[in-house]
Chain A
Amino acid sequence: MENNKSLGKQIWKNRWNYLFLAPTIILFTMFTIYPVIASWVISFYNWNGMEPLNDFVGASNFIKVATDPGFWKAFKNSFIYMLGVVPIQLSLSLIAAIFLNNPKLKGSTVYRTLLFLPVVTTTAVVGIIMAFIFGTYNGVINELLLATRLIKQPVNWLGSANTAMAIIITVGIWKTFGYNLIYWLAGLQSIPGELYEAAKVDGASSRQQFRYITVPLLKPIAIIIILLAIIGSLNVFDLVKVMTGGGPAYATDVVATYIYRYAFSTEKGIPRLGFASAAGVFYGVTTMLIAIIQGALMKNANRERADYQL
């Protein structure tokens, strides 16, 4: 039916929708889309941020990025970090959220606040504390492991390439756990309580309630939470910067620290904003493609499984 109507009529019919969307569209175009497009433009130039934008170099920045082994190492590390953080953190925070969502649990307000505190703890200070915790010299973890005779020699957690990434992942889970806890709580709160009560009346166990009410109703928001967690962890920066600075010898270098080195810091001399933008665009497009392919595969798999079940 609706297909028969002209576009004009449809737009008129939805005028309120467009009106509600208008402020967002206008501001989003100005302050998000425009700067993003600007960074695409910059990525085709050689530019240090000071001179006028006049040294057009075509795709050469992209070629430099794609052929730099350092970039691919950082790329790989970003994905290792994401794969290390996201599944563990999301499942742990979901479990915590389900417990804390129970209105009968006394003190849940306190727990919720305490679990949120790492989010607000200043990252620069976190770097110092973690150096004490994972330090080789009198570090708490080493002392514990030595005392229980699990290790004979203190382990150089942050200073050796093998363990540094694992530690960053652990701290990453700790630091951003609170975000996901809140997302999950908000998601769980969007599920009408009557459904659980009705299920209880029908004699459903709590596991059944979880399987047949929580999971399906949480799904739309869960997809968004997962997406946010993935994007957030793929762009991790502060934490790596304060904990290892990407070291030792670039072993924990992620794409954000890689780009930072060229875009801002004086470590490498004059800033290369064109190159940095190219690296950012390249990374953004690649991760997006991976996400799309992944999404398509999952959809396919779901469909197949559904077919099979039928």
Chain B
Amino acid sequence: MKKWPWIIGILVALLVVVVTTRKPDRQVATGEQIVVKVWDWGVSQQKIYEEQFAKFMEKNPDLKIEHQVIQSGQYDNLLQLAHKNNNVPDIFWQPGSLKVVELVEMGWIEPLTEYIGKNKDNFAPNSFVSGNNVIGGEIYTFPDMEPRTGVYTPLYWNKKLFKQVGLEGPPKNWTELREYARKITKAGKGKFYGFILGGKEDFCWDMNITALAGENGAPTGGLDYQQGKYDYNKPAFIEAYKILKALEQDGSIFPGFMALDDEQARAYFATDRAAMVIGGIWNIGGWKKYPNIEYAVAPIPLPDEGPRSKRGYGGGGGPWMMSSKSKNKEAVGRVIAFLTSLEFTQACVEGGLGISCMPKANEAIQDPRLRELLEIAEQRTIIRPEPLLRNMELAYVNRYESKLPPTKTSLVSVVLEAWTTKGDIVKGLRELTVEANKRFGEMIKLARKDGHKVKLEDYHFPDFNPLTDYQGTEK
């Protein structure tokens, strides 16, 4: 036991370090402050949010915002536990497994229309969609991101590597994509390659296939509104698979990409080992850590025959919500007003959090690549039909998926099966189409059994043209 003093000594030393570096306690509450609890899972947003909350509290000394970032796959569960314990945050991000309609029905959330007030005019017109985030004429949640740039995942190209090979701009069609990738790979001599994707992650495969197929006539997510059913048989899916496979067979994809996740793939792009990558808007934020990177944003190369469709987007969306159990609604409402203010959104945009759904705030965008992305997304997306506008009860259909036997068959599983075992992609997609429609039918049947007035035809929009905004009006 002679060594105990030694251990205690070390612990005391550590304690001294900790205590002396401790920040002064922020909780010097002055009597009657109202505490507003805010929950989200936005790790990249944290810094800017907290700076803004601090500014807000300066102007509203009677309020104290307690902000918690809950970074966990179990955010939804934790929110539910907080409800059980009557410890609900006053403002929180929408839990991913529940739709707005369901949350309203469960009595969790408060209408926001009154608190948002005039701030509604700050938002782009597509920000509020009935059945999506507006229920019974009342706004229940509001989006923070521009919906088109949320949907459109562009091609990023590494200017340094392109220049080195003598290429001036990004590939515009699939032939060029393949040719450029081959050319760059050849010049790289094993140092750098034409194309990369994070083959370890399912979502990354989904993103790549969907991006390449989405402007070639393939419906995003497989649900074809023109026919009102799932259709993976569209040639667009097969062709997207084939172009990726061709890139691989040319040796143009970064070796070992199957073992990389999206973040690693991005890092190889940023350190000049891969010349092209398809990715979301978050890439732009992620690459800020690389001072030597030179890249630009480009539209996804089109099939050689030109576009057959554009990427559809719905508008509306979340994530901010207010709890119906809040004790001091006036105070929480003031925070909601702040979150919907131009001032707050502008600060987020300036902080590089991407493109907001407030056109005016977007004037503050500094990174030219974000501007490029916005422009591209404006041109390459269309408003898709919104079945919820027709029938709000459709919001319940999704939950019945979890009552069906689990399935592993998905677009990605079929693609990977074909990719790794030389399986037949055409046959796989045909079977997937049959299964997806069967499950969809069963979900609707189960929903009807529970008394929801839904039918398959609700998803059918024969007058939808995938190249133009859907304007269809209901009879």
Contact = CB atoms under 8 A, between A and B. Distances in A.
A244 B258 CA distance: 9
Give the secondary structure class of A's interface: loop
B38 to A, nearest CB: 21
Given A68-B406, A137-B255, A249 B98 contact: no
A154 B255 contact: yes
Interface in A191-232: none
Contact of B200 (A136, A247, A262): A247
A307 interface: no
Chain A, interface size category, equals: 35 or more
B254 interface: yes
Interface in A242-271: 243-245, 247-251, 262, 264-271
A249 B255 contact: no
B257 A270 contact: no
A274 B98 CA distance: 17
A150 interface: no
Interface in B238-293: 254-261, 264, 268, 273
Nearest to B399: A270
Contact of B273 (A50, A137, A156, A248): A137
Interface stretch (A25-33, A112-120, A158-166): A158-166
B402 interface: yes
Contacts, number: 110
B30 to A, nearest CB: 38
A284 B260 CA distance: 32
A159 B256 contact: yes
B332 to A, nearest CB: 23
A158 B254 CA distance: 14
Interface in A134-171: 134-137, 139, 154, 156-161, 164
Contacts of A84: none
Interface stretch (B175-183, B363-371, B414-422): B414-422
A275 B73 CA distance: 18
Contacts of A266: 73, 96-97
B80 A158 contact: no
Given A137-B256, A159-B258, A159-B259, A46 B403 contact: yes
A98 interface: no
Contacts of A269: 97, 398, 401-402
Contact of B76 (A49, A157, A262): A49
A245 B261 contact: yes
Interface size class of B (residues with CB under 8 A): 35 or more
Interface string A259-299: 00010111111111001000000000000000000000000
Interface-centre pick from B80, B259, B264, B401 (highest chain A CB count, 10 A): B259
B202 interface: yes
Interface string B89-116: 0000001111000000000000000000
A182 interface: no
A131 interface: yes
A304 interface: no
A70 B408 contact: yes
A68 to B, nearest CB: 7
B393 to A, nearest CB: 17
Nearest to A276: B406
A77 to B, nearest CB: 14
A47 to B, nearest CB: 9
Given A161-B421, A247-B199, A266-B96, 5 more contacts: A48-B399, A136-B259, A154-B256, A269-B401, A272-B406
5 contacts: A50-B77, A128-B264, A269-B401, A270-B402, A271-B76
Interface of A: 46, 48-50, 55, 64, 68, 70, 128, 131, 134-137, 139, 154, 156-161, 164, 243-245, 247-251, 262, 264-272, 275
Interface of B: 73-74, 76-77, 80, 95-98, 199-203, 254-261, 264, 268, 273, 398-399, 401-403, 405-406, 408, 413, 416-417, 419-421
